[in-house]
Structure 1
Amino acid sequence: MQSDVDEQLSIPSVDVVDLFAGPGGLDVAARWLGLDVYGFEWDPNACETRAAAGLNSVPHDVRDFGPADVPGAWILAGGPPCQTFTVAGSGAGRRALDEVLSFVRRMGNGETVTQEVAQLDDVRTGLVLEPLRWAIEAHKAENPYKLIVLEQVQAVLPVWKAMARVLEDKLGYRAVCGVLRTEEHGVPQTRRRAILIASLGVERELPEATHRRYRKGVGQLEGDPELFPWESMGEALNRGGPFRVISNYGTGGDPKLRGTRRFDEPSATVTGKVSRNRVVDLDDNPLNRMTLHEAGRLQTFPVDYPWSGKDVAQQIGNAVPPVLALHVLAAALGFKISPEDARKVVDRPWLDTRDSAPLDHLQRMGLLFS
């Protein structure tokens, strides 16, 4: 296996190294922008999807590698596993938050905390520290990343804020972080993600909303007239008739409080249980359940994205929505993506365009930091 890994890492210089690449959410966005990306991922199922999508696909553990293994990359990106931080998970990350914040501060002071991190109750909790380790190692090697882009569930925002202070005070970056709502960026789904953008020598901002915020009971055409209406499930899926999606689980575990969204609303957050959700017409007659490709489209993957391997629903639920990643990467580079361009790349067949950049006029963005 190691020889295969070495062969995979002996690749031409790339623009982006993605530390927790999953099935390719951020990788898809980078390709749309004309950026070359190398993604680290340890789940063999996600790697099967990556292989089918034309992305690098040998399973890696980011803890075994560092910046020297992907020379030339000038953008560091990552969305560490969220299960221990998310409300739906075990909560180990939330319980360990103070300890994780302490590790961030100590790493910023030059301490090595590897052994202590390994003693955390859930190994996935410590993975949130890996982007900082890579950034520190690159800085020590006098070849720092010019941009750092990180995303996670909103419960991780305190960690991103602590990392931002280290990146600014110790490594010379200018950093910004906050929580973005996916429907405000053209994703037909309500989902909140904590985002960090850090840049060497240039101040960047989080991407501004392009679409209106979804509010229950408020129509699509209401709200700020300067913003696009949020995209609905019906518009994204083209199912041909009105429908409702009923969640598989209830709020707080109460089955009587199962969430319901109509076709003319954005989807609720797509999770690994999306295929269990019921779909009915407006008279409660059962309809075909959501297909995996439909679930992927609600995450803004191209409709023909070649999902492969096992646990595909979990792969989809764990992924960062490519359109959100598109807006975040562009903001980190000093660009704004129009809703029209974002919709254009989502609607284009992935298998026909995966080796080219549909947003051809943005290929030059790599020159911004040359």
Structure 2
Amino acid sequence: MTSSAHHQPILDNPFVLDLFAGPGGLDVAGQVLDIPSLGIEWDRSACLTRYAAGLDTLHADVSAVRRNSFESLPPEINVLAGGPPCQTYSVAGHGAGRQALDRVKGYIERLMAGEPDEKIDESLKTLPDPRTALVLEPLRYAIQATRSPNREFRPYDVIVLEQVREVEALWLHYAKVLEETGLGGFKYEVVVDVLDTETYGVPQTRSRAVLIARRQGLGKPSLPSPTHFSYEAKEWNRRNGKNGHDQVHQATLYEDTEPQSDEPQATSGKERQAWRSMGDALAGHGRPTPFLVRSNYGSSSNPGRRGVRSDRQPAFTVTGKISRFVVFQHLDEDIVYEGSRFSMNEAGLLQTFPPDYPWSGTAQAQQVGNAVPPLFGAHLLSAALGLPQPGPEALQKPWPPATEDQQAKLRSSGCGAADACTDRCPPPEDQVPPPSSVRPRKKKASAK
């Protein structure tokens, strides 16, 4: 269900707690909507990016904050949001999370039944990959809020979650317990679905399972109305060539190839726009067109979305491998050459970060790929809080960098010192969980 109702804010003073905050996708969305937020992130480099961007941050383990310092969180926080790490659920991973879906549903039931945290934690140690358990943290925070005297035992008013599409089954189970059992005597109304980010103006194909919950009495939640057409790979290939060789030639033929759709064009009183292309997103930032991009990844769980795309198409799903995408520049109808790979600035633009976002630290491609696209996040927060939907231009304005004094203040709050991490921060060796020990079994080739 998508929203078509008149926008009416449901909270006077929303304040977001962003779990697994990464370099700031949801927090940037919050700032665009004038909503304060506090992000919890354990990767040092992502925190450096956040400090440079002027975002309030705790450099910490989400689980450790819940266990040891939940009472120190601002009591006025009333919106819980986040995208737990997806590696064990993503089709790009080894599948430990997907194989453990039923077990994780069981943990949801045990948490709602009030089983002690210590017993739950001990049981979670038996999961093949510890990252699988992180999808439970939003629920554990929501439960902890109702046990906190610092919050006067109040539940969060709104919950907004996103993950890879394979987690939809868990979000549906979240919805079941929030609607039927509730938290602290309060039940929720919940909507869950899988949304495609290109239908919200993000210039890439990226599918995400989304949950929006509102405490009963705040109105029935709805999903954000799509503002753009979806990208259909089969239709594009039918009209523009089915392989990279054809697209090399087609990339120079700027004929009438706007996306077509049989879906209704009216949405919230507006007509849907064509999905945004890579060329549109990168226009004015030094990347010559036309160009082609080749990737063996980025299908967003849909193999039909792999292969080669031109600058007139949306990008493949932006992941931590974005720096490996091969970009070709066209010379003439018979010759192409490999151009420069996407810069972090360009990768950020494909994620809808502002053009001058201050990427910092190491593993910047991983930061970009792990982030929630800010424009998509802004649509989710707007729908959850009853605010007007943002347009792409909201994130195309210059991003004011934090001064050295501001960064020092943010880092003092987030790390415990103005210029360094302290023992409050996760040890470097613990910031990357061990790789999954569960790998999908390969089918043996049959003898013929």
TM-score by length of 2: 0.71
2:272 and 2:180 map into 1 onto residues whose CA distance is 36
Letter in 1 for 2:21: A
Q: Provide, for residues 73-121 of structure 1, a one-character-per-residue CA deviation record: whole Å limited to 9, x for no partner.
A: 0000011000111000121101111110110112112223222113311
2:174 and 2:147 map into 1 onto residues whose CA distance is 17
- 2:380 matched to 1:328? yes
Matches within 5 A, 1:140-289: 140-141=147-148, 142-171=153-182, 172-201=187-216, 202-216=219-233, 217-218=235-236, 219-223=257-261, 224=263, 225=265, 226-238=271-283, 239-247=287-295, 259-282=307-330, 283-289=335-341
User: Which residue of structure 2 aligns with residue 60 of structure 1?
Assistant: 60
2:258 and 2:401 map into 1 onto residues whose CA distance is 33
1:250 and 1:232 map into 2 onto residues whose CA distance is 15
Letter in 2 for 1:45: S
User: Which residue of structure 2 aligns with residue 33 of structure 1?
Assistant: 33
Say if 1:304 and 1:99 are closer, same or farther in 2 by CA, change over 3 A: same
- 2:106 matched to 1:138? no
Structure showing greater relative contact order (alpha-carbon pairs closer than 8 Å, 6 or more residues apart): 2
1:329 and 1:263 map into 2 onto residues whose CA distance is 30
Letter in 2 for 1:207: P
Tell me the secondary structure at the aligned position of residue 107 of structure 1. Answer: helix
- 2:128 matched to 1:121? yes
Contact map agreement 1:184 1:212 (CA 8 A) in 2: yes
2:258 and 2:146 map into 1 onto residues whose CA distance is 47
Contact map agreement 1:213 1:230 (CA 8 A) in 2: yes
Moved over 4 A (4+): 248-251, 352-355
> Quick check: 70-79 or 278-287, which moved more?
278-287
Tell me the secondary structure at the aligned position of residue 351 of structure 1. Answer: coil
User: Which residue of structure 2 aligns with residue 350 of structure 1?
Assistant: 399
- 2:136 matched to 1:98? no
User: Which residue of structure 2 aligns with residue 7 of structure 1?
Assistant: none
Contact map agreement 1:48 1:57 (CA 8 A) in 2: no
Letter in 1 for 2:43: D
1:14 and 1:329 map into 2 onto residues whose CA distance is 10
Letter in 1 for 2:347: A
Contact map agreement 2:382 2:388 (CA 8 A) in 1: yes
2:306 and 2:103 map into 1 onto residues whose CA distance is 35
Q: CA deviation at 1:185?
A: 0.4
2:298 and 2:23 map into 1 onto residues whose CA distance is 28
Q: Provide, for residues 37-78 of structure 1, a one-character-per-residue CA deviation record: whole Å limited to 9, x for no partner.
A: 000001111111111111134421111223533211000001
Q: CA deviation at 1:240?
A: 3.3
Tell me the secondary structure at the aligned position of residue 223 of structure 2. Answer: coil
Unpaired segments of 5 or more residues in structure 1? Answer: 1-12, 252-256, 356-370
User: Which residue of structure 2 aligns with residue 296 of structure 1?
Assistant: 348
Q: Provide, for residues 121-157 of structure 1, a one-character-per-residue CA deviation record: whole Å limited to 9, x for no partner.
A: 1111101101001111212442111100001000111
Q: Provide, for residues 191-212 of structure 1, a one-character-per-residue CA deviation record: whole Å limited to 9, x for no partner.
A: 0011000001221111111100
Tell me the secondary structure at the aligned position of residue 17 of structure 2. Answer: strand
Contact map agreement 2:231 2:259 (CA 8 A) in 1: no
1:176 and 1:61 map into 2 onto residues whose CA distance is 28
Taking only the aligned residue pairs, the percentage that are identical comes to 48
User: Which residue of structure 1 aligns with residue 240 of structure 2?
Assistant: none
Aligned length: 335
User: Which residue of structure 1 aligns with residue 72 of structure 2?
Assistant: 69
Contact map agreement 1:249 1:258 (CA 8 A) in 2: yes
Say if 1:221 and 1:121 are closer, same or farther in 2 by CA, change over 3 A: closer
Tell me the secondary structure at the aligned position of residue 115 of structure 1. Answer: helix
User: Which residue of structure 1 aligns with residue 443 of structure 2?
Assistant: none
Tell me the secondary structure at the aligned position of residue 174 of structure 1. Answer: strand
1:123 and 1:38 map into 2 onto residues whose CA distance is 25
Contact map agreement 1:250 1:259 (CA 8 A) in 2: no
Letter in 1 for 2:16: V
Letter in 1 for 2:135: V
1:331 and 1:212 map into 2 onto residues whose CA distance is 19
Contact map agreement 1:214 1:230 (CA 8 A) in 2: yes
